[in-house]
Amino acid sequence: MKKILTLCLFLLYMIQHIQAQIDPSLLKEPTVLSKKDLLNMDAIYDRPFVTNKKAPVSLGGYVEANWQHIGTDGVSDGHQLQFRRMTLFVASSISKRIKFLSEIEFEPADKEIAIEFAAVDMEINELFNLRGGMIINPIGAFNQNHDGPKWEFTDRPISSVAMLPATWSNAGFGIYGKKYNKNWMLGYEIYASSGFDNSIIENTENKTFLPAAKKNTERFEELPSGTPLYTTKVAIRHSKIGEIGLSYMGGIYNKWQDDGLVIDEKRGIHVFALDFNTTLPKTNTFITTECAWVNVDVPKTYSEQFGNKQFGGFLDIVQPVVKRTIAGWKDAVINIAVRFEYVDWNKGQFIDTGSNIGDHLWSIMPAVSFRPNSQSVLRLNYRIQKQTDVLGNPPSNTAGFNFGLSTYF
């Protein structure tokens, strides 16, 4: 906590006392694009910031706090109060075509302060721009567009946190661009970065588990495999239809040579993702969905509980039901929503019996949310979940309420 307070006080001091080294007006350039003109790749910069005319930087961020009462097979830990995270944004427009953005996340429960994004963008033209630093790999939609205030649910999608590594970022460089043509938009991103290591099959979960790689902070300095992780995404949007994105992330994850000597086979990881979002014009219903397929080259010496194929995804449906002045808040909105989720960490059959391997779950989460403004949300969720173990035994049943608050600041 002392580190958090020290950092915040330092940034506030900088805002008040540092003379600007750039034209401060650059930080207040009006946004010329509407929400319908944005792609998912724009989520990194599509955030509110506060600017002081004398300062060279803009600040922003968001917080999340929750209450939950959830039980599994009739056993509950009772009421739980959680301060999930506080995230701080620091941005600077160094010139009209060079900008910097960082995203620093504080998670008190994990005693963790992590830099999730810190990159410099050099804009050359609309179809070709450079980005370097700590980048967020654009696999699927949620990894880049993960801010709590944007969602009607207290929990992040299970497939995005327990199958894919949520807010997965690495040291890297890449190019990106967008093209507009009347109602159509095309965007792309291509990166070479650091990435996974043997922890995806050597972890405390005792299964193939990609999020385990997030604990390896050495990935910001060296690549165990000596080869980059390649990530690419292409997205197409029509203003009246919606946006569809196709993404791929892959490379060699294991250390296969040491001092020039080959010590193991090269083992690859390949992730494919499909995402889609749209808003239905007559009802203003918002729909977003994401599916991902994971293929991992698991050594033959490992048991069958380490899956080489995984699949998961989610579907969110959000329906505004009231939009009016509520308790003095103008244009406040009440939404009803539902999330459907499915994850299979081990697709396939046992060699000896031919029966399906378990280790999968499905979940349904109805929700009600209240938005006093576009930057803040109160949300009440109820989770219904069934999870089957690797042997296919009768599933465990999880159910319970979540209530949370999330807001930008």
| Residue 3: pLDDT band with limits 50, 70, 90 | low
Close Cβ partners of 137 (under 8 Å, ≥ 6 residues apart): 143, 168, 169, 170, 172, 191, 193, 195, 229, 231, 249
* pLDDT tens column, 51-80: 766 677 899 999 999 999 999 999 999 999
- Residue 6 is predicted with a pLDDT of 52
Count of all residues that appear for the chain in the document? 409
Percent of the chain with pLDDT over 90: 82
User: How far is it, in rounded angstroms, from Cα 227 to Cα 211?
Assistant: 20
Q: Quick check: 378 pLDDT over 50?
A: yes
- Domain holding 366: CATH number? 2.40.160.10
Q: Quick check: 27 pLDDT over 50?
A: no
Q: Quick check: 285 pLDDT over 80?
A: yes
Q: Residue range 170-189: average pLDDT? A: 96
- Residue 53 is predicted with a pLDDT of 67
| Residue 14: pLDDT band with limits 50, 70, 90 | very low
Residue 362, SS3 per DSSP: strand
Greater confidence, 18 or 270?
270
Q: What is the DSSP letter of 348?
A: S
Pick from 27-31, 144-148, 295-299, 309-313: least confident? 27-31
Q: pTM for the full model?
A: 0.89
Q: Quick check: 25 pLDDT over 90?
A: no
* pLDDT tens column, 121-142: 999 999 999 999 999 999 999 9
| Residue 372: pLDDT band with limits 50, 70, 90 | very high
Q: Quick check: 4 pLDDT over 60?
A: no
Q: Can you read off the two tokens belonging to residue 336?
A: 């009803």
* pLDDT tens column, 211-254: 999 999 999 999 989 999 999 999 999 999 999 999 999 999 99
Cβ count near 135 (within 10 Å): 26
Q: Quick check: 289 pLDDT over 90?
A: yes
- Hey, what amino acid is at 326? I
User: How far is it, in rounded angstroms, from Cα 61 to Cα 48?
Assistant: 8
User: How far is it, in rounded angstroms, from Cα 85 to Cα 64?
Assistant: 6
User: How far is it, in rounded angstroms, from Cα 68 to Cα 327?
Assistant: 26
Greater confidence, 90 or 111?
90
- Hey, what amino acid is at 193? S
User: How far is it, in rounded angstroms, from Cα 300 to Cα 231?
Assistant: 27
Percent of the chain with pLDDT over 70: 90
Is the CB of residue 333 less than 8 Å from the CB of residue 152? no
Which residue range(s) make up the domain with 283?
Answer: 2-408
Instruction: Identify which of 101-110, 255-264, 316-325 has the greatest average pLDDT.
Output: 316-325
Q: Quick check: 365 pLDDT over 80?
A: yes
Number of separate domains in the chain: 1
DSSP annotation string for 245-278: EEEEEEEE-S--EETTEE-S---EEEEEEEEEEE
